[in-house]
Every structure is written in C-alpha cells, then in structure tokens.
Amino acid sequence: MDRRLFLKTLTGSACSLAAHPLMTTVTLAASDGSAPLGDHRLVVVILRGAMDGLDLLRPTGDPLFAGYRPTLSGPQDPDLTGYFSLNPTLEGLMPLWRAGQLGFVQATSTPYRDQRSHFDGQDILEAGTGLDVPDASVRDGWLNRMLQSVPGLRAQTAFAIGTQSAPVLQGPAPVSNWQPDLRLDLSAQSRLLLDHIYHDDALFREAATEAVSLTESIDLSRTDGMASPPAGGPLADTDRLTDFAAQRLRQDTRIAAFSLSGWDTHRNQQGGITPPLRRLERVVLRLAEQLGPQIWDKTLLLAMTEFGRTVAENGSKGTDHGTGGTMLMAGGALNGGRVLGQWPGLEEAALYERRDLMPTSDVRAWAAWAMRGMYGFDRHLLESSIFPGLTLGDDPGLLA
C-alpha cells in the first residue's frame, strides 16, 4: 500500500489525495464528466421472503378486501388514491408521496408461476430471465448484464452492499461488494507495517488500499455535518447500510443493490411485517436525507420481491406464498404520486388459481423502462440481452 495513503488516513490531511491512484481516477472522472452512466443513480432493493404487496399497498377501496383480511386492514390507513391506502407503519413516507417522489406498481410479478419457492423465485427475479423456471445457463444478474453493455465502467460504478450476496448485480461486469459493518481498526503502526509488507504485491496492495479508503470514508461521512447520526437499536444496521450506499452514490457510484429480508409472514403478520416495513421506510427516508436534494433528484430506488402472497389471510393471521405482488419506487427522479399497473380485482374468479392476486404486468418491464429512461438503453438491448424475452410495451413515463 502506498505509504502516503496510510499517512493521509492517519492525519486526515487531504493534500496527498492526488497521489493516491484510486482517488485520482475518481477526480478525473468527475471533472471531465465522462462517467459512462451520466448522473442518474439507480438503487435496487431486493425484498427477500415474498413481501405482501396487499399489505404494503392496501386496496381498501375494494369492498372485498376487508373480508379477505380481517386482521390486516384498517379504516385509519393513510389514503393514497381514494382506492389504495398505505400500510400505517409507512406513514412517514406520505410527504414523499405528496411530493411525487413515491409510487407503486401493483399486481406485478416475474414470469415465475406455481411452485412458489423463495429460492427459485429469487433466482428468477435476479437473473431476469423470461422463463417460469430458473434457467441454469444464466448465471449473471440483470443489473450486471446492463453494466456489461456499458463500455468503460470501473468496479466503483456499481456496488453490491451487505452481507447477503446480491446476485442481481453479479456477473462478468466489474462490480464492487462491501459490507458496511466491516471495520479495519488498525493502529498507526500496523498500517505502516501493512503498507510495507504489501508493497511489492500489486493485488494485495490495491485491495488493502481501497479497503482502508472505504472504511475511512464511512467514518468521514459521519462527521461531515450534513447528516443526522445513525440510529442505535434495531435500525442501526439499516442505517449503516444506507449511509454506506449514500456515501458511494454521492461519489462516482451509479448503481447500488442490496437486500432487505424478513418478509415471509406466514403467521401473525400484523406484528411480523412491521420490522421489515420500518427498515424499508428508513432506507428510503435516510437515503433521501443522506444524498441531499441535488443527488436525490437524480435517484430512483426500486424495491422488488420474488412474488406476492395469498389474497386471503390464512388460519394463523398470516399469508402464504402467492403470485402477483407490489413494487415500491421512490426518488427525486420518479414521476410518482401514482399507483401504476392494471388492477385485476379481488373477485375469486379474477384471482390467479383462485387464491393469488393475478399478475397483470412483468416486473422486469418496469425496471427496463426505468433503465431506459435513466440511461437511454436501446429497446432491443433491453428486450433481448438484459431481459431475454421481455416485451417492453408502452412507456409508462416513470421518470419525472
């Protein structure tokens, strides 16, 4: 590792920054404006465990809804459209809704049908293939295939964050991975000595240099005065995750992906879904705060899940694996304040297999329109390589 970088990180002095190869490339990219993906930031959140879209976005205007869901609907839910209302745990998102920075797609799903396995469902969601079974020959995720079509990317352009891997972003295109709870608590002397022993081995030298710079940058973000300190308690991990994502996105990262789990609410859902909803709300609000208005305006977050859950509550006040689900969208780049997608209705005959919400759109199409709107990808590329077999359909005008 370069001695001067260690010294820099020890003293916090910025004067030797330019000597650090990594920092130099960042500076250059920023100054000549040649960042291959432009200014837009795309954040993809995979909600693992099958998030109950009908509980997040409640069709309280449908007279059948309360009957299906005796313990999972309330008259006091915050109203969104007169027909749909928001789960009250997410009330903190209402200002974003009113500002047009929050939106939903209801009754959407991947092409996956019938088996309702988390494992296969997540495989298909992240691989972005057009089949209703996992395609073993596709080993990269759709976000990575998007990156593969962009020349001149650096690993820093896209970040998979968190201890759970994010297959949606993995593949041949260069991607960085980071766990925000990784720390490198090294004494000054250890840093100098590590610098010395890695000096002749480029692979170790560069990896360790960047590890130090990443762990340092997180600490810096805490003292830069623009953000409130991270929460303690149950949201601490969420804050660390979000703060790290925001910190990268403020710099040269354009794509971030991570996952939130805990959505598999087979029993006592009202209590069980509250913690993951709080985490999701926190991610959105804190990301907006940490990015600041200028970058938030260029940002779109898509939160998607492997499939929805049964329309009716089961015998233990929960819901079981279903089909059609809901995608949440947020960001200053969003033309929001809308619930998109065609509503299939809740009459028994309108349900998929008489139990699940009927999917009326392919969740990949919304992601594809977002990518097209933000980065200008060619329609054919989206329909053939990034999402094989997808038909994009009409432009839903996702971007503000």
Partner 1 sequence: MTQDSTTAAFRFGYGLPLPANAPTEPASMLAALRGSDSMATTYPGPQMADLTETLLRADASLRTSRRATGEAAKIARQDYRQAIARLEGVTLLAAKTTIARALDAPDGLRERLVQFWADHFTTVARARRDSPLPATMVEEAIRPHVTDRFADMLKAVVQHPAMLGYLDQSASFGPNSRIGQRRSKGLNENLAREVLELHTVGSGHTQEDVTQMAELLTGLTVGKKGPTFDPRRAEPGPESVLGTTYDGDDLTAVLKALDDLAEHPATAAHLARKLAVHFVSDQPNADLVQALTDAWRNSGGDLLAVTESLLTQPAAWSRQQAKARQPFDFTVSALRALGLDGADVMRMADDPFRQMILQPMAAMGQPWQRPPGPDGWPEAAEHWITPEAMAARITWAMDMPSRLVNPLPAPEALMTRALGANLGERLAWAVPKSENIREAVGLVLASPEFNRR
Nearer of residues 261 and 335 to partner 1, judged by Cβ: 261
Residues at the interface with partner 1 (CB under 8 A)? 117, 119, 133-134, 136-137, 139, 163, 165, 167, 170, 176-179, 182-187, 189-190, 193-194, 196-201, 203-204, 207-208, 210-211, 214-215, 315
3-class DSSP state of 326: strand
SS3 category, 329: strand
Rounded CA gap, 195 and 221, in Å? Answer: 24
| Chain length of the chain | 400
What phi and psi values does residue 219 have, to the nearest 5 degrees?
-65, -40
Please say whether the beta carbons of 210 and 156 come within 8 A.
no
- CA separation (Å) from 259 to 39, 167, 323? 23, 10, 20
**Torsion from C-alpha of 179, 181, 182, 187, nearest 10 degrees:** 160
| Closest by CA position to 303, among listed 132, 116, 47, 109 | 47
CA-wise closest residue to 170 among 248, 255, 241: 255
Contacts of residue 314, defined as CB under 8 A and 6 or more positions apart, other chains included, come to: 266, 320
Coil, strand or helix at 76: coil
